[in-house]
Each structure stands twice: as C-alpha cells, then as structure tokens.
C-alpha cells in the first residue's frame, strides 16, 4: 500500500534526473536503520550496566544473608560498626548501579520516543513536493503518512525492545558464565591423566582405606599411601593442625573429593553418614530433625524416643513438634539413629559442646 500510494519520486541533480521508485518505503527503511543504529550507539553500555546492576544486587543479598547467619558472632566481637560500614558500602554500590541503569533507560527512552514522534511527520514532509506539485491529493498524503507509520513501526523493533533485549542479554551472560564454570569443573573431574579415588565394598570392616592418597587441586598431597582398617564399633580420632588436610580427607572418604588415588571401601551392606562441621537441622518437626536425611517415616516412635533420651533430649519426645534447642545434641541423636540401623558415622567434632563432647560422641557411638 505504501509503495502504491507514495509512487516514485524524481529528483533533478544537475542535468541528471534520479527517479526513486517507492520512495516512501525506501525512506521508512533508511529511517529505521538510522534509528536502530543511533539506539545501538547510545545504549551500547546498557548490557554492561545491567550486568553490573545484577551483580551488585546479588552481592548485597549475600552480604545481608551472611550478616543474618553470623549476627551473634558479630555482636560478641563488637563488629557492628564495621559491618554497618560494609553494608552501607554494598548498598551504595547498588544505588550507584541503579543510577547508571536509570541513565541508560532515560537515554534509550528518549531515542525511542523521539523516533515515534518523528515517524508520523516525516512522510508528510517527504510527500510535500508531490502534493504542492499536484501529483498527490491531501487524502493520499494522509494515507501515505498512516501507512508509513505502520511500516516504520514494524522496522523499528530494535528501537522499541532494546532495553528489554539488553536486560535479557545481561542475564544470559551471567547464566552462561556459570555454565562455563560448571563445564570447566566437569572437564576437570573427567580429565585425562588425572587420577581419581576409587570406591568399593569390603567384608569384615566398616571402613577400609587401601593405598589412599588425597591431593589438592594444585597437586599437593595431604594424605599419601594410607592403609587404614576401621572395624565395626571402633572409634578413630583424626587429629592435626589446621590446614593439614583433615577436612579434605573426610571429604575424600565421603566421596565429595575425588582427586587422588587408591580406594575407599565401605563395609558391605552398611551406609555412611557424614556429619557436617557446621551443625544443620532441617525445617520441620522433631521427627524430621532426627531422621534427616532420610524420610521422617524411616524410624519408629520408639527408636526416636530412645535416641533422644540417650543424648539428653528425652523431655522433647512428649508432644513437642518444634526443633530442639540443642542442635549439637540433635546431630548426635541423628548419628545414633543411623548407627542403630547398621550404619556408621564420620564427624568433625568441632560442633560438639566443649562441656560434653565425650558424652555425646560416646552416646552417638561415632567411630
């Protein structure tokens, strides 16, 4: 329609006459290319600014979560002012990034609105010579202006959607960077020439470490050629200075750290429970706290009452559905429940109370 209504436009350049067929369609395309290019130039930092804004918000959320989890420790140390300064700095970073994103949005909005205001006027100006020359009627000029606006709006997709496209690109970049990191980790785990700790089963022993060597990511060996046999019911204490690899060894035994060589063998038909260094109690009732990570229905009421009584929490077994106040004792009850079902437990005892660690370990029967 625009091609037919606008017709062709002849322009005299010296002694040469240049005829442009469908000149309004050509003008709509040129105008859309110009507007899109100008939008890309003005909003070239939009993706970077949006990515920085998302990063600043994530860091601020992490800061607040960390403060919430460690509020008591911060209060005991008297670090309120220092932490407040850190929170203010993080919040200031968020506000700064939001100011940048607002400036970018203002610029792109200005370009988009200006383009939408000029679009209805431009075909009238372009059709004016033909109207004044009598080649077009006023009705045809108005029809051309309406058709030009529709065509230009179709070509103007980038200008209208640039802010949303930039925000989507910023989010896609963050997701892609995480995927790249995960792929790199997967390649590192399955890389050729890198030794791995094997896992298997054994008879007669609860846990057997056969020629076990545990290495760090830089190749440093923290455990070398270990030969250990732990019998059922036996209790073993791994002691050492901080940084000597105790936690890494526990992760290797549990299967969380695959780098090294040798074999970790678990007794046939037995299960292994690793108690984390930082005590954790899931959301829910007392039954779920004791049986976790298994289903709350995996143990009978009598079993739960027995293990709670063993760790000094027997008073909670009568009608209480709230989480117990002693998280360390709940950990001990959980390990005792596992031990009663033919499994064994590995724990780093720093979560135990300094007044009763031996009693809890003896009660839970942690090997």
Residue 215 β-bridge partners: 221
pLDDT of residue 327: 53
295-345 tens-digit pLDDT: 888 778 887 788 777 777 777 766 544 544 555 555 555 555 555 454 555
HSE, side-chain direction, 13 A CA sphere, residue 269 = 6
- Single pTM value for the model: 0.61
Return the closest-CA partner of residue 305 out of 320, 293, 283, 284: 320
What domains does the chain contain, in order, with CATH numbers? 2-187 (1.20.1560.10), 198-270 (no CATH), 274-364 (no CATH)
Return the closest-CA partner of residue 309 out of 332, 327, 288: 332
Compute the CA torsion angle 291, 295, 298, 300 (nearest 10 deg).
60
Collect all residues with Cβ–Cβ distance below 8 Å to 131 and sequence separation of at least 6. Answer: 137, 138, 141
Query: Could you tell me what percent of the chain has a pLDDT over 90?
Result: 10
What is the rounded CA–CA span in Å between residue 116 and residue 335?
A: 69
78-91 tens-digit pLDDT: 888 999 999 999 99
Choose from 40-44, 149-153, 186-190 the range with maximum mean pLDDT.
40-44
pLDDT of residue 135: 77
Q: What integer best gives the mean pLDDT of the chain?
A: 78
- Better-predicted residue by pLDDT, 181 or 8: 181
Q: In this structure, is the dihedral angle defined by the CA atoms of residues 35, 37, 43 and 47, taken in order, positive or negative?
A: positive
346-363 tens-digit pLDDT: 555 544 444 444 554 555
- Better-predicted residue by pLDDT, 58 or 279: 58
Query: What is the edge-to-edge ordering of all strands in the sheet holding 260-267?
Result: 198-202, 260-267, 207-215, 221-230
42-55 tens-digit pLDDT: 888 888 898 899 89
């Amino acid at each position: 329609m625009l091609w037919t209504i606008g017709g062709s436009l002849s322009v005299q350049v010296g002694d040469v006459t240049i005829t442009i067929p469908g000149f309004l369609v050509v003008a709509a395309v040129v105008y859309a290319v110009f507007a899109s290019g100008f939008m890309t130039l003005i909003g070239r930092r939009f993706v970077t600014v949006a990515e920085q804004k998302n990063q600043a918000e994530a860091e601020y959320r992490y800061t607040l979560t960390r403060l919430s989890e460690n509020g008591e420790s911060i209060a005991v140390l008297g670090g309120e002012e220092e932490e407040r300064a850190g929170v203010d700095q993080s919040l200031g970073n968020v506000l700064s990034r939001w100011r940048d994103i607002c400036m970018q949005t203002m610029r792109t909005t200005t370009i988009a609105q200006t383009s939408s205001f000029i679009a209805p006027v431009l075909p009238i100006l372009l059709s004016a010579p033909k109207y004044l020359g009598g080649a077009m009627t006023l009705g045809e000029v108005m029809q051309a202006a309406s058709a030009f606006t529709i065509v230009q709006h179709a070509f103007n997709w980038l200008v209208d959607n640039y802010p949303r496209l930039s925000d989507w690109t910023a989010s896609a970049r963050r997701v892609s960077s995480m995927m790249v990191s995960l792929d790199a980790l997967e390649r590192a785990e399955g890389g050729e020439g890198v030794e791995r700790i094997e896992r298997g089963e054994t008879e007669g022993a609860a846990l057997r470490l056969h020629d076990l060597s545990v290495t760090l990511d830089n190749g440093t060996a923290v455990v070398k050629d270990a030969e250990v046999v732990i019998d059922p019911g036996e209790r073993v204490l791994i002691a050492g200075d901080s940084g000597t690899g105790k936690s890494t060894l526990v992760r290797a035994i549990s299967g969380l750290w695959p780098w090294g060589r040798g074999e970790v063998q678990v007794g046939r038909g037995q299960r292994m429970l690793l108690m984390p260094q930082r005590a954790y109690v899931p959301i829910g009732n007392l039954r779920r706290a004791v049986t976790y990570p298994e289903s709350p229905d995996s143990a009978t009421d009598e079993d739960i009452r027995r293990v709670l009584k063993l760790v000094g929490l027997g008073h909670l077994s009568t009608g209480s559905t709230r989480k117990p106040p002693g998280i360390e004792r709940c950990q001990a009850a959980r390990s005792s429940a596992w031990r009663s079902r033919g499994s064994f437990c590995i724990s780093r005892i720093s979560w135990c109370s300094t007044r009763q660690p031996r009693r809890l370990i003896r009660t839970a029967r942690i090997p």
